[in-house]
Structure 1
């Protein structure tokens, strides 16, 4: 081949290679941007998460600008290293950016804005400026917290007792209810009314005068708060010293510890493990189950005590346990122990829905009934269970038979009432006068 022929061949190869290079470098796929479809902020502002990616030429630049009627503010102007020849130095890995929006810097008249996002890659497309992805995301700024109007008047509640409050809200919210100190009790729609209702409890143990208030959080995160007149009365808590006989350790503790995988070499140690750690796990299970509460009242009137039963242990009793005169453990008894005949029929204290019916550690065979609006009754130490989760039960319907399953020294029923995740004194709920004045009279004026 002549020299001219070689030149033409080499030129052709170069043109083909250049064309292939340009074809690849002018790839037309724009960067990928993951962002929310809309942004809602409160007076504190917030952050927006963006995920950027470009599998072709790689990311070149990104700008984020907040645009509103009073002007605009650049929140991000970022460039990444690369060249028009080789593309981005870093590519093939998604990049996550947190964009802070400081609402306090904006004029208070600004309620609506747009977040303009402009992302380019290192492609030769677009006159060497690269492929572009542009997003305009609407931003709404809500600085006003929900307004709460409490309809309930002066309320007296005891430590270890329950209460109810009726209130209304100025807008739809994400979360509302009652705070008692650090405890939260969700609100629910009051049937036949435009108002809301929340049952709450004051723990038997805690501050003498906990802060009690209705709270509501809207979609922007604004929090409205309202108080009403609540008087918290102290409770005198009974105490008891309990001596554990060796037969109890051998017959009850050893079997329960073995079933729960607790070392039985030292039965006093095993009892303390059951009375503390296993008890805590069981209570955690109960609180998880109680999240499934009906949004309406399922019960009617007062609750009934187990018929023909004798009280052998009261609510909030502080117990200290001894073996041969040595203290081995402590616990608070959050319920009533009720003794009747052996294998006595256990009846539902009021109408509701069974949400648990199975073994539950220290409580043995246990049934939990959801009565709606966060009110639950507990039946422990049964020898037999005759209901299943999901069953609807009436007041006085049989749930099973009393027994001595779990951490029990003899045949009896452990009965408890919980409001939200807090144990309260069943004596209140057994009392028709208390229920009438503290529940029914509070709700009736707002029902059709």
Structure 2
């Protein structure tokens, strides 16, 4: 028994010795980074201090700002337990600085016993300038008449080069782009599902220091009433359509359950992907300023904004909104590009089946869905009227047709506006 106790304490002593040796010989300094890495900053701009230590762990972090004879501590964080990584946020606001140069000094110390127990310390110094003056916005375009589910455009000038600029509608931001004439031009959407009284578009500009400015402009919100539609889901439809999604929804083979998840969950993922694809937009207009083409000799089967209630065996099972125009002519009809642009997506796209998305610049994109055949590739430049595909019945289509959608930064809008040259002239081109 005494021997076992001796062995236990020997192991404990060796472990303690090893730990002591590790802490004593850990000479690797912590890693430290500060973002954003901007030469100017506003008082409310949030900085992030990123810290790492692969050795003994972090002990403390500190940030001090100096301006002239003034020195203020903005962050003083002690870690009671060893921490391998941390992010600390702070602003300059508590320091009460005046416009002009300042210096930030960030330090981090680990828990090692190196340097006679003081630990390893790393320092980061950043020189920058405080700027409290927001950019000045001058809206240049005049009357803005925007229909619910439709698009508006605005042009404006800024007093300085911004970090970002565009139009805010509710919680959504629609970027604007600087054009060759020095003006900023942007498209924005009056969402189909927004109450007209909540539609209050404003120009927003953030300068490189982080100062934010807003500007209002004259606009008229034009409400719309959307059609109500009833869709009956049959077993034949489920049996023929749901196998497309077996490799996406793998935990059930109940076709009705798959349909409900496709129509709800996959639809949301498709919408999110449309927003992601919008980031690939060109900063200039790629289309020819003329009315967009529609599928030739095609009769509309469903309109934009149709509110659909779905029934199965006489029972309501779901509700969704149709966010495009369905056009049908002949089976496997050739599909022309509605206007010139660059292909940013081809392939199977959830509820839309086989699809093509073309970017026309400035956040404007067109969607061609339920295709039987695709004749273009990602990254390909296409001309207006060029045949890009053939109509089909892939995805959730009940028959051969083209689902044609128009998107502005991933937000669905009414395609009908873009088929009207008069509307384009008055509401888009005149604003440039």
TM-score by length of 1: 0.79
User: 1:68 and 1:399, CA in 2 relative to 1: closer, same or farther beyond 3 A?
Assistant: same
- Counterpart of 1:206 (choices 185, 194, 201) is 194
Whole-Å separation in 2 of the counterparts to 1:97 and 1:365: 43
Whole-Å separation in 2 of the counterparts to 1:321 and 1:129: 69
Q: Give the 5 Å matches for 1:207-226.
A: 207-209=195-197, 210-226=199-215
Q: CA deviation at 1:181?
A: 0.7
The answer to whether the 8 A contact 2:372-2:391 is kept is yes
Alignment partner, residue 285 of structure 1: 273
Q: CA deviation at 1:97?
A: 8.1
User: 1:51 and 1:153, CA in 2 relative to 1: closer, same or farther beyond 3 A?
Assistant: same
Alignment partner, residue 32 of structure 2: 34
The answer to whether the 8 A contact 1:111-1:142 is kept is yes
1:161-196 per-residue CA deviation (whole Å, 9 max, x = no partner) reads 001111111112221111111111111122x21111
The answer to whether the 8 A contact 1:31-1:52 is kept is no
Whole-Å separation in 2 of the counterparts to 1:359 and 1:173: 38
Tell me, what secondary structure is at the counterpart of 2:246? helix
Q: CA deviation at 1:123?
A: 7.1
Alignment partner, residue 317 of structure 1: 306
Alignment partner, residue 330 of structure 1: 319
User: 1:229 and 1:76, CA in 2 relative to 1: closer, same or farther beyond 3 A?
Assistant: closer
Q: CA deviation at 1:223?
A: 1.0
User: 1:164 and 1:247, CA in 2 relative to 1: closer, same or farther beyond 3 A?
Assistant: same
TM-score by length of 2: 0.82
Tell me, what secondary structure is at the counterpart of 1:415? strand
The answer to whether the 8 A contact 1:256-1:407 is kept is no
1:91-144 per-residue CA deviation (whole Å, 9 max, x = no partner) reads 9x878684845435425x44222235688998779xx99999776532321111
The answer to whether the 8 A contact 2:43-2:91 is kept is no
The answer to whether the 8 A contact 2:30-2:120 is kept is no
Whole-Å separation in 1 of the counterparts to 2:32 and 2:253: 58
The answer to whether the 8 A contact 1:257-1:263 is kept is no
User: 1:74 and 1:122, CA in 2 relative to 1: closer, same or farther beyond 3 A?
Assistant: farther
The answer to whether the 8 A contact 1:75-1:99 is kept is no
Alignment partner, residue 3 of structure 2: none
Tell me, what secondary structure is at the counterpart of 1:383? strand
Q: Give the 5 Å matches for 1:245-324.
A: 245-252=234-241, 254-261=242-249, 265-300=253-288, 301-324=290-313
Tell me, what secondary structure is at the counterpart of 1:211? coil
Alignment partner, residue 85 of structure 1: none
Alignment partner, residue 72 of structure 1: 71
1:204-248 per-residue CA deviation (whole Å, 9 max, x = no partner) reads 001223221111112222111111011111111001111223322
Structure 2 portions without partners, runs of 5+: 1-24
User: 1:412 and 1:143, CA in 2 relative to 1: closer, same or farther beyond 3 A?
Assistant: same
Whole-Å separation in 1 of the counterparts to 2:68 and 2:228: 68
Whole-Å separation in 1 of the counterparts to 2:272 and 2:58: 48
User: 1:442 and 1:61, CA in 2 relative to 1: closer, same or farther beyond 3 A?
Assistant: closer
The answer to whether the 8 A contact 2:176-2:184 is kept is yes
The answer to whether the 8 A contact 1:60-1:122 is kept is no
Bigger mean CA deviation after superposition, 174-183 or 239-248: 239-248
Alignment partner, residue 328 of structure 2: 339
- Counterpart of 1:196 (choices 184, 203, 211) is 184
User: 1:234 and 1:265, CA in 2 relative to 1: closer, same or farther beyond 3 A?
Assistant: same
- Counterpart of 2:429 (choices 407, 417, 440) is 440
Q: Give the 5 Å matches for 1:161-240.
A: 161-190=150-179, 192-209=180-197, 210-240=199-229
User: 1:346 and 1:220, CA in 2 relative to 1: closer, same or farther beyond 3 A?
Assistant: same
The answer to whether the 8 A contact 2:365-2:406 is kept is yes
The answer to whether the 8 A contact 1:241-1:322 is kept is yes
- Counterpart of 1:106 (choices 73, 96, 104) is 96
The answer to whether the 8 A contact 1:38-1:138 is kept is no
User: 1:239 and 1:50, CA in 2 relative to 1: closer, same or farther beyond 3 A?
Assistant: closer
Larger Cα-atom Rg: 1
Alignment partner, residue 44 of structure 1: 44
User: 1:77 and 1:417, CA in 2 relative to 1: closer, same or farther beyond 3 A?
Assistant: closer
User: 1:395 and 1:40, CA in 2 relative to 1: closer, same or farther beyond 3 A?
Assistant: same
The answer to whether the 8 A contact 1:262-1:270 is kept is no
Q: CA RMSD in A?
A: 3.5
1:351-382 per-residue CA deviation (whole Å, 9 max, x = no partner) reads 11111111112211111111111111111111
Whole-Å separation in 1 of the counterparts to 2:396 and 2:231: 13
Q: CA deviation at 1:197?
A: 0.8
Whole-Å separation in 1 of the counterparts to 2:72 and 2:281: 47
Tell me, what secondary structure is at the counterpart of 1:288? helix
Tell me, what secondary structure is at the counterpart of 1:249? helix
